[in-house]
Each structure stands twice: as C-alpha cells, then as structure tokens.
C-alpha cells in the first residue's frame, strides 16, 4: 500500500473556531471526508476571529492532534516571516494548500518564500475563496489592485495550481491571471446533516428573516438593511454573526435607526456552528445579499434546515426561483427583493410545506454529490504529481 502523502494547509482560522466563517467549514469537512487518504497538517491562529485569548486545551506554537489532522496553533506574534520560513524548511510535507490570495501570513509569505528559493520547492494549491469576485475586489480596491499588479510583474504565482469551487470562480481567476494558468474546479465538501426537521409551517401575513454571517462589508448587511426601508408590512429581521468591522457595524446601526416602526431588527450576537440549523428552522427565509461567495456553507446550512434563501446573484447558487427554493437577485434590483419579501409574507402553511418539499428535492439533486469526494482526492493527488 502506497504511503499517504501529506498536505500542509495554511488557513487563518480552524476548529474549534467558528467566527471565521465558511473556510473553517471547508477545511474541516475536507479533513473529515478524505483524512484517510492524506495526512493533513494545518497551520492556523491559536484563537478565533476577534478573540483576545487562545482556545482552551491547546498547546500554543506546537503541533496538536485533532481528529484526522495535526494542527499547529500559532500565536499572532509567533507567526512571523522567519518562523514561517523555519516551519516550511523543517516540516515534512508533499504539497501546500493556501486558502487566500491576499492574506500576508497565510498566502503571500509562503508563495514568496518558494519564489525566492528560500524553502524546499513543493507544489502549491491556492484557493482564493471568492476573493476575485467583482464585489469582493471592490472592497479595498486600490490596495488589492496594486498587489495583484506587482505579483504579476514578478511572476510570483507561476506554477501555482488554482482551486476554484465553481466555474464562475474559475472565470474570475482566469480574468485576472490569464487562460494559461492551471485551474481545477472542485466544489467544497458540505457537511451533510439534514437534521430531523419537519416540513415548514407558517401563518399567513407574517415574515421572519435572518442574516447569519460575519458582519463585514463583503457580506453586505448594510445593503440588506437599506432594502427593508420600503417594506410596509410587519417584518422581523434577526442578525447573527461576529462583528468583524466595528466601524462598519456602527454604520449598520445608523441605518437601523432610520427604519420604519413596522421593521424590527435584533442583533442576536455570535452563534456556534452546532446551533446554526436551529436558528434557521425558526425563520421563514435567510436574507443574504452578499457581495460575493465562492461557495457559501451558510447557504447550504439554510437549505438543509428547509429555510428559503433570498440571495444576491454573487454566489454559485443560481436559478433558485425556478426550483422553488428561493431567489438569486442582482444587487441593484431592489424591487425584486421587495417582491420576494411580499411573496413569503403572503405564503400560508400549505405553500410553505410545498416549498419544503422543493428544498428536499433540490438538496438531493445539487448538494449531496459523492463525486465531489473523488474530485477532491484528485485535486490533491494532481497537486503532488504536478510540477
């Protein structure tokens, strides 16, 4: 039997963290699904997004055994250019998997060290995680544009294998780096836990929406709030998620104060991953007009909870209205978002149960796909043999 190859993963946040959003779930689902096929070593921060203290029960700046992986929980201070270089020189691994293009400590340093031949040459697989979507690139646009220009000038990302999680993301990558680059399209592995949720029940003329994500410009909570201004019927909007950008949250609070009295907005704080589906099952729809998602684990969680979704058209989840499970709407078309709110508001128990059946069918057709496991194995196997 051939010896298992070792993948060295760099990602800012990992379990037991949950505030870092989708990438945590992407990596943990990957390790759970193909951890018997590869050895995974993960380098990550020793604390969750925005936390001042490290996780309980870990050994900092050292390797920890966690499930099918070894995890190096590094303090912010420890994770320097020199220590990353030392780690890459003294750790056994066959390829590197990066989960950002723009992160200095978790992507740029690793690519640069290889480019300058300061560490042993190993194949690099890079997953930009939606960072090249038009909406995401418009945030801190100048800074990102300058870095991308410089990286192309020095051919910094030559011989990198790009991991796109959808054909749309593949197009975004090729628009920036050309058709000659090596890209592989492999969807993220979802955590399939359909729970024990009965078909939805709903009283007519009521509407409870939920927003569940990091509170940052990319997720577009401010845009969601602005779209509620013209709603004339009673609506409850519950917001869950860590406040990643305090100044941005203050802007959102200002918008909340301008909303009419029939709109009730409640900030419910952070929510652990194991409580997410319970939150969704208490709401009629997940309202998430994001500026860009390469996958959107939280969207999958909503659907698995039989919760309708109202999304922007900046995710891979499209033609939702045709399938009867939700809406994917261009951000500029506020009237269509308003129409979706009104349609759900008017739904009765019979119609909501019909939509629950639609979601079941959609899950079986679009989410539960065993071929993704095989494709993930091929992605990392080709990464090792490439170059």
pLDDT at 194 over 60: no
**Coil, helix or strand for 210?**
strand
Query: What region does 241 belong to: left with phi over 0, alpha with psi -120 to 50, or beta?
Result: left
Q: Detail the DSSP E strand segments found in 62-114.
A: 63-66, 69-74, 95-98
Tens digit of each residue's pLDDT (9 = 90 or more) over 283-340: 999 999 999 887 888 998 999 889 999 999 999 899 999 999 999 999 999 999 999 9
Q: 5-189+370-385 in CATH: which number?
A: 3.40.50.2000
| Run of H or E residues at 377 | helix 371-385
Q: What pLDDT was estimated at residue 191?
A: 66
Tens digit of each residue's pLDDT (9 = 90 or more) over 151-180: 999 999 988 999 998 888 899 999 888 876
Cβ pair 304, 277 in contact under 8 A: yes
CATH 3.40.50.2000 domain position(s) in the chain: 5-189+370-385, 208-366
Looking at 3.30.428.10, 1.10.1740.10, 3.40.50.2000, 3.30.1130.10, the CATH number of the domain 208-366 comes to: 3.40.50.2000
User: Where do we find the tokens 């929406």?
Assistant: 209
CA 171 to chain CA centroid, Å, is 18
pLDDT at 379 over 80: yes
Q: What pLDDT was estimated at residue 180?
A: 65
Q: Which tokens go with 301?
A: 């969680």
pLDDT at 195 over 80: no
Expressed in angstroms, the distance from the first to the final Cα of the chain is 24
Rg of the chain, C-alpha, whole Å: 21
Tens digit of each residue's pLDDT (9 = 90 or more) over 329-355: 999 999 999 999 999 999 998 999 999
Total-model pTM: 0.70
Average pLDDT over the chain reads 89
Cβ pair 123, 383 in contact under 8 A: yes
Q: Detail the DSSP E strand segments found in the chain.
A: 5-10, 38-45, 63-66, 69-74, 95-98, 124-126, 160-164, 182-185, 208-212, 235-240, 263-267, 285-288, 308-312, 326-329
Q: What pLDDT was estimated at residue 387?
A: 46
Backbone torsions φ then ψ of 250, nearest 5 degrees: -65, -35
d(CA 288, CA 240): 12
Give the angle subtended at the CA of 68 by the CAs of 66 and 71, to the nearest 5°.
Answer: 40
Tens digit of each residue's pLDDT (9 = 90 or more) over 92-119: 999 999 999 999 999 999 999 999 999 9
At 4, the pLDDT band (50, 70, 90 cuts) reads confident
- β-strand partners of 193: none
CA 256 to chain CA centroid, Å, is 26
CA 163 to chain CA centroid, Å, is 14
CA 240 to chain CA centroid, Å, is 15
Query: What region does 166 belong to: left with phi over 0, alpha with psi -120 to 50, or beta?
Result: beta
């Amino acid at each position: 039997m051939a010896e298992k190859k070792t993948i060295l993963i760099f990602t800012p946040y990992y379990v037991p963290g949950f505030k870092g959003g989708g990438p945590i779930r992407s990596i943990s689902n990957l390790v759970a699904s193909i951890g018997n096929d590869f050895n995974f070593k993960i380098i990550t921060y020793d604390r969750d997004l925005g936390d001042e203290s490290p996780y309980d029960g870990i050994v900092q700046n050292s390797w920890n055994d966690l499930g099918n992986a070894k995890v190096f929980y590094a303090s912010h201070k420890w994770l320097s250019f020199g220590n990353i270089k030392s780690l890459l020189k003294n750790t056994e691994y066959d390829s590197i998997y990066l989960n950002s293009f723009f992160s200095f400590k978790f992507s740029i340093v690793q690519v640069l060290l290889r480019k300058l031949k300061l560490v042993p040459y190993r194949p690099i697989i890079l997953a930009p995680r939606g960072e090249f979507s038009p909406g995401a690139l418009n945030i801190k646009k100048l800074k990102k544009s300058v870095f991308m220009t410089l990286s192309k000038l020095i051919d910094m990302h030559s011989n990198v294998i790009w991991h796109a999680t959808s054909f749309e993301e593949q197009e975004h990558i090729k628009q920036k780096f050309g058709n000659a680059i090596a890209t592989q399209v492999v969807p993220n592995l979802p955590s399939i836990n359909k729970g024990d949720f009965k078909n939805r029940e709903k009283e007519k003329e009521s509407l409870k929406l939920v927003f569940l994500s990091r509170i940052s410009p990319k997720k577009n909570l401010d845009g969601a709030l602005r779209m509620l201004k013209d709603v004339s019927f009673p609506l409850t909007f519950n917001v869950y998620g860590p406040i990643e950008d305090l100044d941005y949250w203050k802007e959102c609070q200002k918008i909340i104060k301008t909303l009419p009295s029939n709109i009730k907005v409640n900030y419910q704080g952070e929510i652990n991953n194991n409580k997410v589906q319970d939150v969704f099952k208490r709401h009629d729809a997940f309202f998430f007009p994001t500026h860009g998602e390469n996958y959107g684990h939280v969207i999958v969680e909503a659907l698995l909870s039989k919760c309708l979704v109202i999304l922007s058209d900046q995710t891979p989840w499209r033609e939702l209205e045709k399938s009867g499970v939700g809406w994917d709407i261009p951000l500029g078309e506020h009237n269509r978002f308003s129409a979706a709110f009104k349609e759900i508001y008017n739904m009765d128990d019979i119609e909501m149960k019909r939509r629950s059946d639609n979601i079941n069918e959609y899950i079986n057709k679009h989410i539960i796909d065993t071929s993704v496991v095989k494709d993930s194995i091929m992605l990392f196997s080709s990464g090792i043999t490439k170059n």
